[in-house]
Amino acid sequence: MNQPGAPRRIGFVGLGLMGRSMAGHILAAGHELHVYNRSRAKADELLARGARWCDSAGDVAAACDMVITMVGFPSDVEQIYLGEGGIVARARPGTLLVDMTTSSPALAVRIAEAARAAGCASLDAPVSGGDIGARDAKLSIMVGGERAPFEAALPVLQRMGTNIVLQGAAGAGQHTKMCNQIVIASTIVGVAEGLAYARRAGLDPQTVLQSIGGGAASGFQLNVLGQRMIQGDFAPGFFIEHFLKDLGIALGEAQRMGLELPGLALAKGLYERMAARGCGRDGTQALLKLYEG
């Protein structure tokens, strides 16, 4: 496999809620940026700033030294990387491939093997921090892959995040993201239940948050998403439908390893009820609706 050098032309596939901001930071750093998204309108702002449009993910790979992807579901990842005319098929030897989608650890291993066979390098590098972390370039980035491509990608990853850790071989980034989502799943259930309790007890939730938000319960889920719950702001920083996808991957991996995680299973069931109510495009903080009717 050719070792990747410093990227000069960078491609970004997937310009959704987080991807647009992430790609924007790369463009602002002065890199030549090539972009593709299923809906071209989401690229308009970046194109106006000098990014270059490509007609497919494969076209992005053919034009670039480094390709970053941030799409929705593992099926999307599989299609754009391993499908006919996709990223692996079109990438030149030495290209660095970085999937930042939260996806399947097993798929990350398959992509790494296919990339290696094509003379390329790949990293699985899912992120945590939501829309705020993407906007402020303060994402936590969990990386799986080999050390050399990680070091080559690091200057670009540092444009998007502040906590960037190589966790191990291919798939390790995705496994680490599953740990993250498992912790969040039970935490956000606790936040919703605590605030629902506060209201039922006749307390002012804002005053309650002022007290418990500075104590042992403090954290992003309580202090940021809890505030949105109180305000009735259920706009997505992270879609419920995407969170459900993540919880399904995590639960499947846990079952494969013979690990029982009842908190994760409970959270998944609650979010499935939310999706059944048509709330899949709400933010994860909309879970409060279940408790308040």
Which parts of the chain sit beneath pLDDT 70?
A: 1-7
Is 177 assigned a catalytic role?
Answer: yes
Alpha carbon 158 to its chain centroid, in Å, reads 16
Give span(s): CATH 1.10.1040.10, the chain: 175-292
Q: Residue 151 and residue 135: Cα distance in Å, rounded?
A: 24
Strands (E), 30-160: 32-36, 52-53, 66-69, 96-99, 121-124, 127-128, 139-144
Strands (E), 90-144: 96-99, 121-124, 127-128, 139-144
- Catalytic pick among 138, 177, 245, 268: 177
Q: Are 106 and 171 in contact (CB under 8 A)?
A: yes
Give span(s): CATH 3.40.50.720, the chain: 9-170
Alpha carbon 246 to its chain centroid, in Å, reads 9
The SS3 of residue 138 is: coil
Tell me whether residue 161 is exposed, middle or buried, using C-beta atoms within 10 angstroms of its C-beta: 0 to 12, 13 to 18, 19 or more. buried
Strands (E), 129-282: 139-144, 161-168
Can you give the pLDDT at residue 5? 53
- Correct CATH for 9-170 of 3.40.50.1370, 3.10.20.600, 3.40.50.720, 3.40.50.2300: 3.40.50.720
Measuring CA to CA, which residue among 132, 108, 134, 135 is closest to residue 121?
A: 108
Look up residue 208 and give its two tokens.
């309650």
Q: Residue 223 and residue 281: Cα distance in Å, rounded?
A: 22
Can you give the pLDDT at residue 1? 46
Write the pLDDT tens digit of every residue in 21-53: 999 999 999 999 999 999 999 999 999 999 999
Measuring CA to CA, which residue among 67, 64, 50 is closest to residue 101?
A: 67
The architecture CATH gives domain 175-292? Orthogonal Bundle (1.10)
pTM here is: 0.93
For 76-112, letters b (16+ CB in 10 Å) and e give: bbbebbbeeebbbebbeebbbbbbbbbbbbbbbbbbb
Can you give the pLDDT at residue 86? 98
Alpha carbon 226 to its chain centroid, in Å, reads 21
Q: Are 116 and 95 in contact (CB under 8 A)?
A: no
